[in-house]
Amino acid sequence: MDKKTFIRELKQALSVLQEEELDDIVSEYEQHIDMKQASGLTEEEAIADFGSLNKLAADILEAYHVRADYAAAREGQESSLGEHRRRKVFAKTKEICARFGNLLGAGMRKMCGWVKNSWHGTKRFLAGSIRWMSGLLPDKTGEKCREATEGISQAGEKADGRKRRGRTAGNQEKGGLQTGMFERTGKLMGRIILFCCEMSLWMIGILWNGICIVGVLCCSLFGGCCLFGLGILAVLLLQGYPLAGVTLACLGVAISSFSAAWLGMTLLWRRKNPEETEKPVSGNDKPSRPLMGSGQNDEFGQNKEDGYGKMEARQHA
Amino acid sequence: MNAQFKKGVLELIVLESVRQRDMYGYELVEEVSKVVDVNEGTIYPLLKRLTNEHYFETYLRESTEGPPRKYYHLTAAGVLYRDSLEEEWNELTEKVGSFLKESQHG
């Protein structure tokens, strides 16, 4: 073994030491070999006098209170150590992420449920208040409706008689018209209020949907940016930069923004589904909100029929 | 000579050598080699340890040939330590000697 190899191998065996100490002790051996050479020995002979390099390294490490087997083990594992550490960090990060995700998921589910409930609650409240408001007038309408239908059926039978009585019943009709006017304007007011309420509700719905969509888009965009940043940070982290904290923070922000986006999505998606299931149920007794346009027409149609029928009923009476 | 004997007494020999005069590593190795036949490589770690335990001080001095040499100087603590080691050594040899004599005569 020549001097260069010896020094290199000795340095490798003592790599656990601080660089300063390592250079210091190695220079002693270097000098020793030089002096041996000066006294007439060859490099190989001088180095052979040291005996086994491993034994020598162990002795040196013992002087530094370092266990030789630790140094040897470290040397053996050096290549796999980095990988092992990285894997450990990965596993830990994964675990933390999973835990964080679970926690976040549970929180979001709760919040989603809460928001959903509160939304449905406000919807029900609004719908209830509108029903109550419109209920003041349509209650009578309902009765009149029945009257009207009865009137129509009866009027059908006595169609001929009605033509003849048309003029003679003129005075009675006038009084009926005056009360009918009052009722009609009241009904119209009710309809307008109902229409306004429904329109505002509809607008609120559209606004809410818009906010949800914009929020979802923003959140997902932000999340994507964070994910991109996270990738860069992860690569830098693996290269040895001390960015673990920043990377974790970035991961957290990305997860939370995606979760927020998901929350928005569920709000949009879940809001549509119940309406679809509610439609056939509510459609039977009262026209539901989404069918507003057609419902309005029906009601107006009914209204006309109603007034007409009422007049007929009066005539009939 | 038994390697364990040598190892045990090496410290005392090194301390005594440096007490007589300040020496650099190679010089010290040669000095010790005169007394006991020891692996030359093992003396440097010993010097290092004694220096770390503040029994030695080191300083550099230019030499006419080659790079500057690191000289070892015994500190006050080193002197005390050397004395205690010598005492222990004397006690040990005395006891072991008397034990061997007794067993021989007995």
Contact yes or no for B45 and A59 at CB 8 A: yes
Residues of chain B above pLDDT 70, percent: 99
Tokens of A13: 């065996």
In a domain, A90, yes or no: yes
Predicted confidence at residue A169, as pLDDT, reads 47
Highest mean pLDDT of the ranges A54-58, A123-127, B9-13, B35-39: B9-13
Residue B88's pLDDT band, with cuts at 50, 70 and 90, is very high
Residues of chain A above pLDDT 90, percent: 4
Nearest CB among B25, B45, B66 relative to A63 is that of B45
DSSP assignment letter at A290: G
Residues A101 and A241 reside in one and the same domain: yes
Spacing of C-alpha A244 from chain mean position: 25
Give the mean model confidence (pLDDT) for residues B54-61. 93
Contact yes or no for A63 and B48 at CB 8 A: yes
Last residue of a domain, one of A41, A66, A91: A66
pLDDT at A53 over 70: yes
Predicted confidence at residue B16, as pLDDT, reads 94
Residues A221 and A130 reside in one and the same domain: yes
Residues A59 and A85 reside in one and the same domain: no
Residues A185 and A132 reside in one and the same domain: yes
Q: Quick check: B41 contacting A, CB < 8 Å?
A: yes
Between residues A299 and A8, which one has the greater pLDDT? Answer: A8
Residues A61 and A97 reside in one and the same domain: no
Residues A118 and A238 reside in one and the same domain: yes
Q: Does residue B22 contact residue B71 with C-beta atoms inside 8 Å?
A: yes
In a domain, A170, yes or no: yes
In a domain, A21, yes or no: yes
pLDDT at B89 over 90: yes
Sorted by where each starts, the structural domains of chain B and their CATH numbers stand as 12-105 (1.10.10.10)
In a domain, A71, yes or no: no
Give the mean model confidence (pLDDT) for residues A90-114. 80
- pLDDT tens column, A191-237: 888 889 889 989 998 888 888 888 889 989 999 999 899 999 989 88
CA B97/CA A188 separation, integer angstroms: 130
B72 — phi, psi (to 5°)? -110, 135
Residues A213 and A304 reside in one and the same domain: yes
B contacts of A24 (beta carbons < 8 Å): 48
- pLDDT tens column, A260-269: 888 888 887 7
In a domain, A196, yes or no: yes
DSSP assignment letter at B66: S
Through-space distance between the first and last CA atoms of chain B, rounded to whole angstroms = 27
Quote the number of domains for chain A. 2
**Domain limits at A132?**
81-316
Nearest CB among B46, B67, B70 relative to A63 is that of B46
Between residues B39 and A175, which one has the greater pLDDT? Answer: B39
Residues A27 and A153 reside in one and the same domain: no
Q: Which residues, 6 or more positions from A18, have their beta carbon under 8 angstroms from its beta carbon?
A: none
pLDDT at B39 over 70: yes
pLDDT, mean over chain B: 90
Residues A239 and A297 reside in one and the same domain: yes
Q: Does residue A102 contact residue A254 with C-beta atoms inside 8 Å?
A: no
Last residue of a domain, one of A66, A96, A120: A66
Residues A139 and A257 reside in one and the same domain: yes
Predicted confidence at residue A70, as pLDDT, reads 67
pLDDT at B23 over 80: yes
Between residues B33 and A81, which one has the greater pLDDT? Answer: B33
Q: Quick check: A258 contacting B, CB < 8 Å?
A: no
pLDDT at B76 over 90: yes
Residues A288 and A157 reside in one and the same domain: yes
In a domain, A75, yes or no: no
In a domain, A283, yes or no: yes
- pLDDT tens column, A272-317: 665 554 444 444 444 444 444 444 444 444 444 444 444 444 455 4
Last residue of a domain, one of A19, A41, A66: A66
pLDDT, mean over chain A: 73
Name the one residue in this structure whose structure tokens are 């964070």.
A226
Contact yes or no for B41 and A56 at CB 8 A: yes
Q: Which helix or strand (DSSP H or E) is residue A240 part of?
A: none
pLDDT at A138 over 80: no
In a domain, A76, yes or no: no
CA A87/CA A81 separation, integer angstroms: 10
Residues A136 and A204 reside in one and the same domain: yes
